[in-house]
Structure 1
């Protein structure tokens, strides 16, 4: 089941690393990411996309079958999604995932409609479905089903004026398995 856009995105703590449960909440309640994948030559490819989370913690991305994202997923299956906070100072959460291509036309249209709702912040009505179905067919759309297995977090940092140099802190974050429990 696709999750609706959260009315209020999870706000990352600025004074400590996010707990594993907070990392999952961050991903579930945001909507934009930088989608990254390996390239045969050069550095990684990256593009900003809207994603749709599911109730079983998959992240779904709509793309054209002929685009690099889909071709690499078919060949490799390893991707990363840098989930972005849209508020300043922004935090981000890197999600490492195994990805597969889904071609089910109903799922493709459902994800496209959900993504468009995330773009506008308003749900699309059922009258839009035939137009989205036609676009999906014309553009040969697929869904990239991304299953997270690990995360890396970066807390928000900001100086509101230059005399705060002694107040900004940094620490080392680490990769955490997606399904890790919170420490007790």
Structure 2
């Protein structure tokens, strides 16, 4: 009987851990990996091209300098995006520790830029501090990375958009979102109590 109690407690702890993990959504306002993001996923507005000034501050925690290739993509919630496959500043050492680099890029016109992602290809590493984007027709956008490392080979950034297009979640995830996590914990607690009282 004691073995049955232990088995039940282990199962209960496992279910509790899984549900508590599933109940914590990713804070998209914080830097994170976007696993399903690829350039060109959302369509650019045909026939429009705007100039943007992108000011990137590199953290003092970053390597002294990096030779890694850094790509950037940013845009709005309506399908306008700007993509530069390799940011290079010909006048300074690009992405030197504790430095600020300014880039000129062109792409689809946007009124409100609400997401930005970096892609790093290389082995040295790079840690951004913040990014400011100024466009001819858009309001200035600021993204804070708070000295978090951009992982190699993945799109990493911040999404402040209200309706950023993404793949639909699996049906099991939908079911978990319909029932609040606290309600599931309550049911499991009542079940556990009734089983213990019956012994």
**Same fold by TM-score, threshold 0.5 exceeded?**
no
Q: TM-score, normalised by structure 2?
A: 0.28
Q: TM-score, normalised by structure 1?
A: 0.30
Pair member with larger Rg: 2
